[in-house]
Structure 1
């Protein structure tokens, strides 16, 4: 094996340019897969850690399965279970803080963006958890406006024992006296602020409610503990669960869906890398035919030749994968830096460094090295079959792969039909399979189509280079090697398909969401909480704030949203309570099913619900269905009177009910979002001044001009879409590498032919034009196939989004296709530069002697 490794290493080092180009293909594939899978888990972890509340370290934590508060009578049922030693109820809520709340410095990084306000029964709580007070004292049952905080929180906000901690609550800003300090919080996450249970119920506008029950058991036997937990569930009912309090689970589902899409893009990039490796190795057999023949004549076995070729691929796979891992980490880090402002502005979370798991490293290595080795298997097997006599015979380019064009063509037709069937079915789960079938179908059909397509593009180029007579030479060179042309064009096809698909999705997405945004957020003013869509982690305000806003001179309309968590058919649902009359005037919902007038009327008169498209798809809900919502007071039946979507909740499973019903069934009357319209002719300066005075006691809300906010979001869309287009173009780079590689190899194989052309009078310019024409024909074939595949993938992606509930309309990506054609032409011209220079610099005499 040492001999094979030595030969492989020397050959790679002897052709550094080709080695680098081939290895770069693997680098790109590993980079995308590894980079995106370091970024996504980090973002999800930050979301879970900083937006979701964490319960204390106890034996059992019991919550309502929809995360809502419930009556303390449930606590007595838990205490009555045999085996429960002690149980305590608490009310816990994440309070997202506005930017610069503590430091008041917009140039400094906010170290504390959220805290957990936890109301406890001091006497029972100390039986549950050993609170170690390092300064001051613990809470006492009669305490009011008193808090116990951690030393790390005290240090970050600059508060000492006996000082005042000001927090925004549902009843306004409240000053809490710090009576005790706990040790620093060791685990990452939200800092806790402990107050008495009665205090928390008042501050959070939830009188007589708890949302967590902690219990310690009287045994350490695992079987016995499992039995006790089961008895607890039986005692309280199936609407409760054992586990930590969660919120925002509906948005996590969409984050994971995005991760799947990026993984698909990474797989396509790695697939392009495999094509490049295969194309390179299969031509190695032709180029090194004499070398292989000499080795075989000197006694080298077929196994030796096979392992020599595979060793070259393995070396390139290892180097490319290692470089891809390093660059992928950098790529993930840069992506995180781009989304940090978005995370802080819209979700109020802080994102750390990319997270690398051992399983991700192992998977990336297996994919990177595995694709390289697999791509080299057939060329290695072909090389091992070269006989010494055949190899030493002086001819060029004798080794090729025979293809049964008829069989491959009709197999491609069958796969194309299957891809069309998947398109008709519009099954989201089959999106990736349909894209792969479409791509493979075009690849299989390509050999039979190369000649006629090359003839077509050769004729077009002949019109351009009419006097040179070089386009026909380029066309003939490609027609003689349809297999190689197919592999190179296939790489280009995949790259361009990604570009067209992204153009289709982004064009449709942009138009759809901008229209919905203008309709949903077209109010004169908005009162925004720290986070959007994850409403359960926001601290709102009691109803009197909305009433005070209505009393301001010049205000015509105030519409508010109230939030509660629920479930429909085991699907997590964000329930928004609206005032049907006020919300109807805003015209903020885009209906896809149902009549708006009758839907809002039904919301006022009965238990009716409007569901958005995502919820309709996830739970299989249709207009007119009766659905069961899980509430803290039991299950309630609602009639579906419409399917509609607004901008802020378009990506999460959401239902809209009346504020009367959300108060009756969920006990929620806390407003978390406000939309305000002014009367015609109102003095905006005076109204804004009145808003500012009123909101001083509610710093959790930010006053925004509605039109300015829409424009800000439009700019954010443009920035995100630009970055997505840049990523699509980034994934097209391997196609450039493939063309450079193919053209460079073609120059080496045709050294004598180029020498003969020069000897009979061809100029350097004409030789350069031949290489350029080949590159343009190759890129044209790949671009044409890529546009076909991309249109299919884009249309199916948009229809899949529709099937998932997003109200998208397919827009033909005319600009995207023009961009793809431009990229194809530019890449073709760039790919021809180095090989053309190499060809024109060949010495005529040496070229004629080359074998």
Structure 2
């Protein structure tokens, strides 16, 4: 056995170039498998931690329950843990608004209520904790712990305003969303709640986590919460599901695991073909040597063991190195792999703090890499074992068992010599081209997606025209604060002619366009729903709705004559029981007034609008509304004035909490970042796979030169120049490259176009119009040609270092 091992070690040293190429391929394969495994495992951990950090560590909540019912919920056997919270009062903060709420210890933990600095939870009746902005709105310029502040509040929507002096016990973290919406929450003590709110008026929300959550699917969890609510006689409207947390808490990450397994399978299959081909090509030149070993007594089993140990020795060195490289790369780039890119600070911290080391994953990646090497060697082991001593002695590369007639030529040139060499072992040539072609096919397929992801198209969904989009940020059916609903806010005339005139007067503004929304109650399957209907001109209808039509025939002129409407969320069209030609009974809300409206559904579209329905201006004018329903403003300005215009617009928007502004440039940058992260991750994976494929071509060319060293020496002895040898090697490389490009450009573009259409149907980011990814194809072709030329030049230079006599005397 020691002799077989020594032979394996000698073979590896003797064929150092081939051994290095195989080792690099194994390292890259192992590193990729490690990155895939650790990333998937990290994503599962991060998403669970992330869902808890952002959405709370609870499955659901029962809201508006009395004190007796609250106590009954807490002791239920189906519940693992429960926390109690209650809104005590609403605070009047001038332009802003706030809620005074009480949380018990478990509710604070389950909702991830965080404090800053030396803060402590309010205990006494006069203690309060909130964001600093809450206190600044009450007149404290620099609030500090221990400061006194008078808070005006009222109990219930119609309660009297009461002013009470509080002592600041701590601060909640600042939140940009709260600042934008000008709504804040404050924490008060249990004493304050019980002494302020009468027993009969007390209403609690109980957040809870169910038992056996790991044994339930997402649907089973939701059903169990609904069943528990029924058993407790809690109305369905008072049952709140924490759906995102439920999804990550119950789902073992099937989709993430499936994607990871699919990518890993591609890497393994590709690596098997490449490593096998490198072994096979290397064995061609050693057939006679194997025959001699058989002739002196080596058995078939020992022949297999010799090849097997070659692979195991290389694996023993390469796999640990690949695992280390894979772990380091994952550690360095996990935030980008996760697709966060640091755009959200809270999520970014959770992602970056995710523990990535996983011994089972590393062992699994190592075993898969070892299995890949074994499967790659299985066929070469069988070939080596079948070598006959007699057949091996008279073996010449390119000959087989069947008698072949060799075709002669009156004249020979570089092209014919190149063709003869490649035809000498057609299997080796075809396999090399196919493996390289496969990696390039994958690149072209991904390029058909990545190259067609258009940030401008995706940004246009948020800001459909102009440079700035101003809209009203309101509710629709808020029973607690009805004054914040769209129909009530519209009565404030926030986007009337006076506002648009002020915008037009801003230096740099070239165009101001407006749009109208109306709140509409629609009787549909399962009851009545409140949504928004958008009133569109013919120009905007054709631009944003008609071209996105999925079903029906929505002609603007026909619509205005027949009170036609188009549903803008085609995915839910059938779920709500709608059908083309169906009649709908609607109520348009004109402030607090309801205007009945009978409409005909003429189409369904994916219009990417903020509304659910679209109607024509002419149809809307027939309704005779009194309120100015302008709810969106598009502003176009000169490019050099964008910054100053944005500043002026934001100053105008500060006059009301309901204004919301977004710039096209910001929307474009957000989309570009998301697309860039996705595209870069895919291209990085394909680059490594392509590199493994290139190792295959390098091995083929190197082996071709080594096996023909004597032949090329004779050619040079009879007159072939060094320049001609270099050109011949370049031609061989060009044939490999050309074959690779033919496969990639045909098969890759066909599969890529089909995948583009499928992904577009699912609404994948940025996909709309298709174009051939010419720039990506040219880059790929350029890299292939450059690598091939460099490889040919290096091998030619190395070959020319030996004298012609030494090459003629060379014996394999």
Q: Same fold (TM over 0.5)?
A: yes
Asked if the contact 2:128–2:187 (Cα under 8 Å) also holds between the matched residues in 1, the reply is no
Distance 1:519 1:352, change over 3 A: closer
Distance 1:81 1:492, change over 3 A: closer
Distance 1:272 1:123, change over 3 A: closer
Distance 1:678 1:280, change over 3 A: closer
Offset from partner CA, 1:514-567 (integer Å, 9 cap, x none): 33533541244246999xxxxxxxxx987688857526453567779999xxxx
Match of 1:293 in 2: 291
Q: Tell me the SS of whatever aligns to 2:568.
A: strand
Q: CA deviation at 1:41?
A: 5.1
Distance 1:695 1:496, change over 3 A: same
Asked if the contact 2:339–2:677 (Cα under 8 Å) also holds between the matched residues in 1, the reply is no
Distance 1:723 1:692, change over 3 A: farther
Counterparts in 2 of 1:140-219, with a 5 A limit? 146-147=129-130, 160=145, 194-195=187-188, 213-214=206-207
Report how many aligned residue pairs link the two structures: 670
Q: Tell me the SS of whatever aligns to 2:25.
A: helix
Asked if the contact 1:148–1:180 (Cα under 8 Å) also holds between the matched residues in 2, the reply is no
Distance 1:497 1:560, change over 3 A: farther
C-alpha separation in 1, matches of 2:518 and 2:342:
23
Q: CA deviation at 1:773?
A: 1.3
1:375 aligns with 2:368: no
Offset from partner CA, 1:622-660 (integer Å, 9 cap, x none): 878999xxxxxxxxxx998755446799xxxxx93699x
C-alpha separation in 2, matches of 1:228 and 1:724:
40
Match of 2:468 in 1: 525
1:79 aligns with 2:81: no
Offset from partner CA, 1:4-41 (integer Å, 9 cap, x none): 33332332233332212122223333333432443455
Q: CA deviation at 1:278?
A: 1.0
Match of 1:277 in 2: 275
Asked if the contact 1:501–1:790 (Cα under 8 Å) also holds between the matched residues in 2, the reply is yes
Match of 1:456 in 2: none
Q: CA deviation at 1:488?
A: 0.7
Q: Tell me the SS of whatever aligns to 1:745.
A: helix
Greater mean alpha carbon deviation, residues 479-488 or residues 840-849: 840-849
2:431 pairs, out of 487, 494, 499, with: 487
Match of 1:592 in 2: 549
Q: CA deviation at 1:378?
A: 0.8
1:837 pairs, out of 794, 797, 806, with: 797
1:827 aligns with 2:787: yes
Asked if the contact 1:286–1:399 (Cα under 8 Å) also holds between the matched residues in 2, the reply is no
Offset from partner CA, 1:85-130 (integer Å, 9 cap, x none): 99765479xxxxxxxxxxxxxxxxxxxxxxx99944659969999x
Distance 1:27 1:137, change over 3 A: closer
**Bigger radius of gyration among the two:** 2
Q: CA deviation at 1:330?
A: 3.4
C-alpha separation in 2, matches of 1:28 and 1:617:
49
Counterparts in 2 of 1:198-347, with a 5 A limit? 213-214=206-207, 231-232=228-229, 234=231, 235-236=233-234, 246=244, 264-265=262-263, 267-336=265-334, 338=336, 343-345=341-343
Asked if the contact 1:81–1:228 (Cα under 8 Å) also holds between the matched residues in 2, the reply is no
TM-score (norm 1): 0.62
2:534 pairs, out of 566, 580, 604, with: 580
Distance 1:689 1:7, change over 3 A: same
1:691 aligns with 2:633: no
Greater mean alpha carbon deviation, residues 823-832 or residues 329-338: 329-338
Q: Tell me the SS of whatever aligns to 1:811.
A: coil
C-alpha separation in 1, matches of 2:745 and 2:574:
30
Q: Which structure 2 segments of 5+ residues have no match?
A: 88-97, 133-141, 152-156, 158-163, 174-184, 194-200, 216-220, 474-482, 504-511, 585-598, 616-630
Q: CA deviation at 1:770?
A: 1.8
Match of 1:786 in 2: 744
Q: CA deviation at 1:56?
A: 7.3
Distance 1:499 1:679, change over 3 A: closer
C-alpha separation in 2, matches of 1:118 and 1:493:
65
Asked if the contact 2:448–2:749 (Cα under 8 Å) also holds between the matched residues in 1, the reply is yes
2:715 pairs, out of 757, 760, 770, with: 757
1:740 aligns with 2:688: no
1:611 aligns with 2:569: yes
Distance 1:291 1:248, change over 3 A: same
Offset from partner CA, 1:208-257 (integer Å, 9 cap, x none): 999963369999xx9xx99999655545588998975537969x99x986
Distance 1:759 1:218, change over 3 A: closer
Distance 1:53 1:726, change over 3 A: closer
Root mean square deviation, CA, Å: 6.1
Q: Which structure 1 segments of 5+ residues have no match?
A: 65-69, 93-115, 150-156, 185-191, 201-207, 403-450, 452-458, 460-466, 531-539, 570-574, 628-637, 650-654, 660-673
Q: Tell me the SS of whatever aligns to 1:846.
A: helix
C-alpha separation in 2, matches of 1:578 and 1:380:
70
Distance 1:639 1:18, change over 3 A: farther
1:18 aligns with 2:18: yes
